[in-house]
Amino acid sequence: MLKGIKVLRILSVLLVFSLCFYYFKEAKELFYFSDMVSPYFSLGFLIISALLLGVVANKLGFPALTGYLIAGMIFGPQVFDFITRNDIKTLEMINSIALSFIAISAGGELKMESLKRNAKPILLITVFQSVFLLIVFFLLFSVFFNSWFFIKGIQPGSIVFVALFLGVVSLANSPATVVAIINEYRAAGTFTDIVLGITMIKDIVVLLLFSIVFAFAKNVIVGTKLSFIFFLSIFSHILVSGFAGIIFGFLMIFFFKYVAKEIGVFVILASFISYRFAAITGLENMFMCMIAGFVVQNFSKQGSVLIDALENSHLPVYVIFFSIAGAGLDFSSLKLYWTVVLLFVSLRLFLIWGTTYLGALLSNAIEPVKKYAWTAFVTNAGLTLSFVILIENEFRDFGSILKAIVISVVAINQIIGPVLFKVGIERSGEATRLS
């Protein structure tokens, strides 16, 4: 009986989805929208479709986030092209604001006492992942590219940096995915705290490593001079972003306490302000927002207020962010570089599992962390896509090839990562809302 009801609900949702699809298609064909209006008209349809496919995904035992991503992929440039590449560019600001919101949420979920209590597993797992992934990817792909990529016209001196960049990319996570799955399944406990701690610290490590490798590559390939001042600017950039996040966090505390009534609306406004401030100053917006959320949670009595507001407001934000992310996924290069992409994805999965288990074992972490924490680190969007755009713009001989490979890797990990983490978080015993 229950299975019959479940099937009926899925069919009902699919019927509504089909009607939306039909009338949107008719509207696109019969009515012309200006370039300014069209992306938002398409976004409205995408939000409805993503919500409906999220319900279907949930009923089938997948995270709702998987439904949002699939909606974006189906109606994005790869399939129906209802959301065009120009639309995605136009919607970039909305997507960035949504990411700011998610980053504040990520910082707000992390408590100081939890970091202190779980410092050993957090640090050991982070160190093992960072060292092993970077070294193995560098060594393997240095050899692999020498025999395979040389025929593509890449200069021999560039191969070392291509391998180093891939090593850094292999470390990157998606804090947005981690927070979205944790919120969807209302997870709480030691496992969740450790995963969040590692996710935040690894973001800082990846930012620093990329900045250093990028600087060395520019010095060797482009001829930019390196100096102590240059390296100081790399580290100070991260520090200033963190300091700005602290100030931003205390300003949020002030508004929560004395000004704001509708906390959810204020957090969305704060996300917009942080996005614009980062765009003007060149600071790291996601890191800044994480720090701001962390400050509110740990240095005021407003932490629970923030989390409640975020939990009440997160659904539309996640739908927008992940559906647009799905529309932006590009599998077109997979045919050309499928060998490299599959090697990268497979090796990365194995190394993440092995290094996480080893770090958890040596730090005497609880059993669920040893067995399932690795599932949180599979998805690697966010920073990764920003990196490859910078690389493509700066290094003409290998930038476009590296971007094509990494985007295909991100696309695959974006599909399998949320599902794996959903399984991991349920088996850890910390999910309070089971599928």
Q: CATH topology for 99-427?
A: Na+/H+ antiporter like fold (1.20.1530)
What is the per-residue pLDDT for 108? Answer: 85
User: What is the C-alpha to C-alpha distance for residues 25 and 181, in angstroms, rounded to an integer?
Assistant: 32
Task: Look at residue 15 in the predicted model and tell me its pLDDT.
Answer: 58
How many helices (H) and strands (E) would you count in the chain?
18, 0
- In terms of Cβ atoms closer than 10 Å to its own Cβ (0-12, 13-18, 19+), residue 191 is buried
- Between helix 64-75 and helix 175-184 the angle, nearest 10°, is 130
- In whole angstroms, what separates CA 76 from the centre of its chain? 19
Supply 10's token pair: 């899925």
Q: Where along the chain do its domains lie?
A: 2-90, 99-427
Are the C-beta atoms of 96 and 268 separated by less than 8 Å? no
Predicted confidence pLDDT, tens digits, the chain (435 residues): 445 445 555 555 555 555 555 555 555 554 544 444 467 777 777 888 888 888 888 888 889 888 888 888 888 887 777 788 888 887 888 888 888 888 888 888 888 888 888 999 999 999 999 999 999 988 888 777 666 554 455 666 677 888 888 888 899 888 888 888 988 888 888 999 999 999 988 888 888 888 888 877 777 766 666 556 666 666 777 888 889 999 998 988 888 777 766 677 778 888 888 888 888 888 888 888 889 989 988 888 877 777 777 777 777 888 888 888 888 877 777 777 888 888 899 999 999 999 999 999 999 999 999 999 999 999 887 677 777 777 877 777 777 888 888 888 888 888 899 999 999 999 998 888 655
Quick one: 47 exposed, middle or buried, by C-beta within 10 A (0-12, 13-18, 19+)?
Answer: middle
Tell me the HSE value of 281 on the side-chain side, using a 13 A CA sphere.
16
Specify the pLDDT at position 130.
Answer: 92
Q: Is 276 in contact with 230 (CB distance < 8 Å)?
A: no
pLDDT at 36: 45
Instruction: Give the pLDDT score at 79.
Output: 79
Furthest CA-CA distance within the chain: 71
Please list, in sequence order, all residues whose beta carbon lies within 8 angstroms of the beta carbon of residue 97, skipping any fewer than 6 positions away: 268, 271, 272, 275
pLDDT attached to residue 151: 43
3-class SS string, 103-160: HHHHHHCCCHHHHHHCHHHHHHHHHHHHHHHHHHHHHHHHHHHHHHCHHHCCCHHHHH
Specify the pLDDT at position 91. Answer: 80
pTM of the predicted model, to two decimals? 0.83
Half-sphere exposure of 90 (CA within 13 A, CB side): 15
Q: CB-based burial of residue 96 (10 Å sphere; 0-12 exposed, 13-18 middle, 19+ buried)?
A: buried
Contacts of 72 (CB under 8 A, 6+ apart): 46, 50, 83, 322, 323, 324, 325, 326, 327, 328, 329
Taken in order 188, 194, 286, 352, the sign of the CA dihedral is negative
